[in-house]
Amino acid sequence: MTGEPGRTRLLALAAAAGLLFHLWAGFSFIKSAAPTYDEPVHLASGYSYIKTGRYALNIMDHPPFSEMLSALPLLFRSPETFLTHPYFDRRMPYHYSDYFLYNNTVSPEGLLGPARAFGFLVWTAGFSAVIFLFCLKLHSPAAGFAALAVYYFLPVFISNNALVTTDSAAALFYAASLLAGLLFALKAYGREALFPRREMLLAAACSGLAMASKFSMFVVPPLVSGLWILHMLFFSPRREGGRVFLHALLYCGLSLAALALVYRGDLPLYFEGLNATIERLGAGRPSFSMGVQSMEGVWWYFPAVFLLKNPAAFLMFLAAGLAAAFRGRGPALLWLVLPFVFYFASSFASKVQIGVRHLLPAMPLAAALAGFGLAALLSRRRAALLTLPAAAFSVFFVISSHPSYLAYFSEAAGGKKNGWKYFTDSNLDWGQDLKTLGEKLRSEGSPPVVFSYFGVGRPEHYGMKYLPLGVVTNVNEIGETSHAGDLCASERRLLAVSATNLMGTYYPDQDRFGWLWGREPYFSAGDSIFLYDLAGDAAALEKAAGLLLRSGHPREAACWRDGGRPLLLTSKVKT
């Protein structure tokens, strides 16, 4: 392989090419995706906080900083706030946000699109800086560029950074707090034993913003404080426990001050929300994990979803990076490996298992370690000969999922077309492909469809004529109001089912759509919503009619039992 300067230049070019792809992929995803389940709530809540100066709507579920940051572009659009609407007065966040998004003077796309784009650029820039600086301080510029090249091709970042959620902010400030903590430790516990005030203030500010973005980030101040103690014990020429204790005390106090600044001095409100969130998460939540339905989850959920939702080459580079960090026995073990393992291991006890996005805070650290690994592999000729084809294959797999990066599954899972067999909810199906389904139906003359939807987007906004069937949503109007007209007047027998509902994730009868598992849809919207034409399939029509009858649609059930005209593209039973 070429020498270090040449290798660094090549990796810098790879990182630049990766950045171009990342931006293209992210903006393509933004354009293609309908509102995902929680985006309207985050956007409407953040905008209401900015306009009123009061934290009310969603404050028991999420801290306000990330939501307000995402809502900043709305100030240039001046949408209506509807602050006197009963939904706002009664603190009904999903109903209020639905009304805010679909009944405003600005279109839903005009509200959500700029907020997504702004957040995507902010998170991309922030993660790029943090990942590169970690590698620069703990390894080399070559590792930094390698880490960026890896990061730019990770679908979990392409998709989640392009959505209005709190996950990316929490992940960025978690990693930034650790980076600032490292910078402080290198000076404060080095030979000169300085007190780097800027690094202390930066660590406290990032930690406060992490806590102000997601309640799970309350672990950051004690984590950074503990890492300072370990850094002093293992990497400092001095043993000054009292000095480290004072640093940690000052840092925790400043972190709380930064948090209080976001909360406008009302820290009890933060702790009230934190306690409410801990109680809610402790109750568990339905999930589907590789055929297992559970209310409290399975211990192997996050390891499995981490392996199947990330490219195989990334996992190879990460393994090589972990090996390099252990061989080096330097600060990288403390500031990258330990926080990565800590966050990953803490997920084992989680009873809420609805998406790889809950591992997002560990991902920047993993990307930096993968940069270590990639740089090390490319420095050896034989290893490089294996590395480059593996990387090219993974890149091809990532690009082939365009623009459905949220639904990405790795080579090991057989790609996103098989994702529904492994995991549901925000791993695959968050309501984002409603727009794609609507475009397909409009191209066929907008025939009516029976729709079992998982999400909060309004299907009628995308031109769909639909009869709701077993809809899982927090917006009652979507699940209760028919927009199909006279369903029986159509000869088509179209049934659309979201992947989350197909696997019965939130149904008490979890095999409600089990009779569809052996049938191939004639159209798949982003591999997260499946469209079936059941005309001519008597057994399937009988099952569908039974569900219609149970849902209070006896007339539609009767006419569906009568069948319909078969098409060339009909459901086929796999043999």
Chunked mean pLDDT (size 10), the chain, 575 residues: 80 97 98 97 98 96 98 97 96 97 97 98 98 97 98 98 98 98 94 88 98 98 97 87 93 98 98 96 92 92 97 97 95 98 94 96 98 94 88 94 97 93 97 98 97 97 96 94 93 96 95 95 97 95 96 95 56 37
Measured CA to CA, the distance from residue 310 to residue 315 in angstroms comes to 7
pLDDT for the residue numbered 237: 83
- Report CA-CA distances (Å) from 534 to 7, 141, 370, 523, 569: 57, 58, 47, 12, 10
Q: At 263, phi and psi to the nearest 5?
A: -85, 10
Q: Are 494 and 449 in contact (CB under 8 A)?
A: yes
Q: Are 272 and 221 in contact (CB under 8 A)?
A: no
**Amino acid, res. 49:** Y
Residue that the structure tokens 């709530």 belong to: 41
pLDDT for the residue numbered 2: 60
Work out whether strand 449-452 and strand 466-468 pair parallel, antiparallel, or are unpaired. parallel
Residue 572, strand partner residues: 520
Measured CA to CA, the distance from residue 363 to residue 306 in angstroms comes to 10
Residue 516, strand partner residues: none
pLDDT for the residue numbered 381: 84
Crossing angle for the helix pair 108-138 and 141-151, nearest 10 degrees?
Answer: 150
Angle (CA) 11 17 21, round 5°? 140
The residues, ordered by sequence, that sit 6+ positions from 50 with a Cβ below 8 Å of its Cβ are: 68, 71, 72, 74, 75
Residue that the structure tokens 């996103």 belong to: 416
pLDDT for the residue numbered 570: 40
H/E stretch holding 559 reads helix 554-561
Assess whether the previous peptide bond of 403 is cis (omega < 30° from 0): yes
pTM: 0.95
Instruction: Break the chain into its structural domains and give their ranges.
Output: 4-32+107-274+294-396, 426-573
Residue 260, strand partner residues: none
